[in-house]
Chain A
Amino acid sequence: MAVADSLAAVVKAFPQARLVAFADLSARMILSSAGPMVTTQEHLDRLCDQARTSFDDPMFSLSVQAFGEPHAALLLGPANLRLFLRSEEEPADAMCCICDHAIDLAAFVTKIRETLESITHGG
C-alpha cells in the first residue's frame, strides 16, 4: 500500500484526526500527509519542527534518565492535540498528527504505531 493510502486509511478510521503525516525528522521534511486540514508547506514545516523539538532536550534527557528513550510525544494546546511517534527501529521516521481533543487516544496511538511500523518496513 502506498504511504498516502495508509495515511488516508487512518484519517478515515478516526474522523477526529485532522492531519496525519509521515516525516523524516533527520531531513526535517514531511514526506506525505492526509486529512481535511488545509495546510501550507509552512504549516507542514512547522509541524515537523515541533516534532523534533518535542524529542529534544531538556525533556528528552529527563525522560531518558527516568525510563528510557521516548518514542512518543503528546502535545496539548488550546485548540487541538498533536501526536508525534518515532519509529523504534528508524528513529528518523515519524508520524506527526493533529487531532481534536475528543479523539480516543489509546486506539489512535495504537493505530498510528502500526501504520508507522508498516511504512518503515516498506509500506
Chain B
Amino acid sequence: MNKGAVPILARLHSLQAPVRILSGGARVIAEAGSPNPVAQILRAVNETMLARSLEFRSSAGSSLTLDVDGRRVLRLTASHGLPGAEACLGAEVLEDEHKDDLIKLMQALAGPRPEIRVVTGPVSRDGAEVSVGLPVALLADLLLIDLNPVGPDAPDAEAEAVPASEDPPTVRLSGASIEVFAQAIGPSLIAWLIRGGAGDAARAGPEDMVSHLQGFLDEEADAVIRQLDLVSAAPGDPACLLLGVTLIEGHSILCARLEDRLLLGVIEGDGAQAVLTAWRGLLA
C-alpha cells in the first residue's frame, strides 16, 4: 500500500468515516452483495466532468477501463476477464451502436454482485477533440437506473437538494461599485485602498496602515488576482476573501474584486458580519 495512504486510512478509521480506500488508491463503490452494482458504476462515471480514466475492478477478478469526460463514456481502453469486449475495444470512440455491448460488459462485471472498486487515472488519449461518446444518462435510461444516489448513503430525502454549482448564472450583482461596497462595510473597515480599472484610486484610514497595503499591492497585485481567480468559479468573477485568526475577533485582511477593481483593507473586530451584509447588498 502507498505509504502516504496509511495515515489517511488510520484517520478515517478513527473518525468512523464510512469512506473505504484500498491499496493503489482504489475506492470501493459497491460492497459485495450490493443490489445494483451497475448503478454504482454509472454514478461514478456521472461524477466525472473532467477527462479521466476509470478502471472498475471486480473482487471476482475482472475489470473494465473506460475513458470518460463530461459525463460521457468516450472509449473502452481495457477489459480483463470479460467476454465480448472486442467490438468496444476496437472503437476509437464509442457510439450508439456500442451501447448494448458496453452495457453487457458492465453487467458481466457486476453479475455476481462482487465488491467493485474504481481507480482513477489520466485518460489514455487526449479527449479534447472528441465531443461525442456515450452519455451516461443514455445508459442509465436504458437500464432504468436513477443516477441520483438512493439508499442509506443518500442525502436526507427530506432535505432540499441543492445543486452544487458554485455560482449559477442566475445570480446577478446590482452593479454597485466597489467603493459602495467599502462604504457599506462601515467603521469595521479601518484602513483600505482601491485600485485598478478606469476609476480613480481611493484610500482611507491611518496612513501607516494604508501605505503598507499600498506597498503590498505594488508588488503582489498580479498574484492577488491569480489567487482570487483560483478561488472563484471562473476567472474574473466577483470575489471577496477575508482572512483572519478567528474572523469574529481581532483583525482580518479583506481583499475584494469587482470587475477590474481591487479593494484591499483591514477589518477590525467582529466585522465579518458587516462584510457579509455589505456583500449581500451587492446582489441584485
Contact = CB atoms under 8 A, between A and B. Distances in A.
B162 A77 contact: no
Contacts of B4: 27
Interface of A: 2-4, 18, 22, 24, 27, 29, 31-32, 35-43, 49-50, 53-60, 62-63, 65-82, 101-102, 105-106, 109-110, 113, 119, 122-123
Interface string B142-153: 000000100000
B212 to A, nearest CB: 8
Secondary structure type dominating chain A contacts: mixed
A23 B166 CA distance: 19
Interface string B46-90: 111110000000000000000000000000000000000000000
Given A41-B47, A43-B164, 15 more contacts: A29-B8, A38-B162, A50-B230, A53-B230, A54-B241, A54-B243, A67-B250, A68-B245, A71-B244, A74-B276, A78-B171, A78-B237, A80-B167, A105-B247, A105-B276
Contact of A79 (B12, B159, B171, B247): B171
Contacts of B19: 31-32
B148 A54 contact: no
A42 B162 CA distance: 16
Contacts of A123: 14-16
Interface in B221-253: 223-224, 227, 230-233, 237-248, 250-253
A3 B15 contact: yes
Q: Which of A49, A73, A78, A101 has the most CB of B within 10 A?
A: A78
B251 A66 contact: yes
